[in-house]
């Protein structure tokens, strides 16, 4: 019997989950989506465009699966949302072609990371708030002062200069999670640091975009850029780590500041409903 393929477009608050991939006894996005599919009698392996770690949020995650069932799209979206816990929403659904695969068919992924000493209150739960003595013990003396007084302001220009070395095709072994088994060459098409257009707080948004990223690669790049922005490393630090291709021993930014902002597929491949 013919197997039909479907895609889901998801939004989720990573603080509510221990990552995307199912883990026994822990709340995960995969488990929540599979609970929705089970309401329709579907037991299918999920394919995800970007496997997010614990605490990482998504505004535009894409998941695909194959089943012999001929599903009504509105029933599919409703079933996932009715089974979803707080913090997860199925935004749209689509019936896809036989070759579609959420991960393999994606042409670009964009991540946004928020970090600073005083983000606007509505953004604070999804921001890496400095000071952070765990990550930067050399500056721990500043944490003893009220409201981080004495903690250096992030130098966005230094962060931007550091991240510029990541753009292009590189072997990112030096930014991979230990034990990474896959090929470690990746292409980064954009690496930017955006400051608020108006004075709404002391924070920046790091934007990284590329075809695909290694596990922990984005958080390791951000942690290194923040070290440069605090004056703890030169702007050439990312260039030097790429050249060394050794095990990453720098600062890994925490998951809760990271959001998968968008996943792009070839035009016309997905007709969302």
Mean pLDDT of 180-205: 88
Distance CA(208)–CA(221), nearest Å, equals: 9
In this structure, the number of other CB atoms found within 10 A of the CB of residue 134 comes to: 10
Q: Is the pLDDT of residue 146 over 60?
A: no
Distance CA(83)–CA(33), nearest Å, equals: 8
Q: Give the pLDDT band (50/70/90) at residue 143.
A: very low
Residues 6+ apart with CB under 8 A from 178: 247, 248
Identify whether 53 is a catalytic site residue.
yes
In this structure, the number of other CB atoms found within 10 A of the CB of residue 12 comes to: 25
Give the residue from 112, 85, 118 showing the smallest Cα distance to 199.
118
Q: What is the pLDDT of residues 203-214, one digit of tens each?
A: 999 999 999 999
Q: Give the pLDDT band (50/70/90) at residue 197.
A: confident
Give the residue from 130, 156, 8, 20 showing the smallest Cα distance to 71.
8
Q: Is the pLDDT of residue 163 over 70?
A: yes
* 4-106 topology per CATH: Alpha-Beta Plaits (3.30.70)
Q: What is the pLDDT of residues 223-241, one digit of tens each?
A: 999 999 999 999 999 999 9
Share of the chain above pLDDT 90, in %: 83
Mean pLDDT of 189-196: 96
Mean pLDDT of 122-132: 95
What pLDDT, on the 0 to 100 scale, is given for residue 151?
A: 74
What is the domain partition of the chain in residue ranges?
4-106, 108-261
pTM: 0.93
What pLDDT, on the 0 to 100 scale, is given for residue 134?
A: 87
- Which long-range CB contacts under 8 A does 16-19 form with residues at least 24 apart? 16/85, 16/86, 16/87, 16/88, 17/54, 17/87, 17/88, 18/54, 19/51, 19/52, 19/53, 19/54, 19/55, 19/56
Q: What is the pLDDT of residues 16-69, one digit of tens each?
A: 999 999 999 999 999 999 999 999 999 999 999 999 999 999 999 999 999 999
CATH hierarchy code of domain 108-261: 3.30.70.660
Q: What is the pLDDT of residues 3-28, one digit of tens each?
A: 999 999 999 999 999 999 999 999 99
Same fold, 4-106 and 108-261: yes
Catalytic residue among 13, 43, 53, 70: 53
């Amino acid at each position: 019997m013919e197997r039909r393929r479907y895609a889901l477009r998801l939004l989720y608050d990573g603080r509510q989950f221990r990552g995307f991939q199912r883990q026994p006894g822990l709340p995960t996005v995969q488990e929540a989506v599979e609970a929705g599919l089970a309401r329709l009698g579907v037991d299918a392996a999920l394919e995800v465009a970007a496997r997010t770690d614990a605490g990482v949020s998504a505004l535009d995650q894409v998941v695909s699966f194959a089943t012999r069932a001929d599903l009504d799209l509105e029933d599919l979206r409703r079933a996932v949302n009715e089974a979803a816990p707080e913090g997860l929403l199925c935004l749209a659904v689509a019936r896809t072609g036989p070759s579609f695969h959420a991960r393999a068919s994606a042409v670009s992924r964009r991540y946004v990371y928020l970090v600073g000493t005083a983000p606007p209150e509505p953004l604070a739960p999804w921001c890496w708030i400095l000071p952070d003595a765990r990550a930067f013990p050399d500056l721990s003396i500043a944490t003893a002062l009220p409201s981080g007084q004495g903690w250096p302001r992030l130098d966005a220009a230094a962060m931007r200069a550091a991240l510029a070395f990541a753009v292009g095709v590189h072997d990112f072994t030096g930014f991979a999670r230990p034990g990474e088994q896959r090929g470690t060459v990746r292409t980064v098409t954009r690496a930017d640091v955006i400051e608020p257009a108006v004075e709404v707080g002391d924070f920046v948004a790091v934007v990284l975009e590329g075809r695909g990223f290694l596990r922990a690669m984005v958080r390791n790049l951000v942690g290194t850029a923040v070290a440069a922005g605090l004056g703890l490393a030169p702007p050439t630090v990312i260039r030097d780590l790429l050249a060394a291709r050794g095990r990453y021993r720098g600062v890994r930014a925490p998951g809760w500041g990271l959001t998968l902002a968008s996943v792009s597929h070839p035009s016309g491949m997905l007709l969302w409903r």
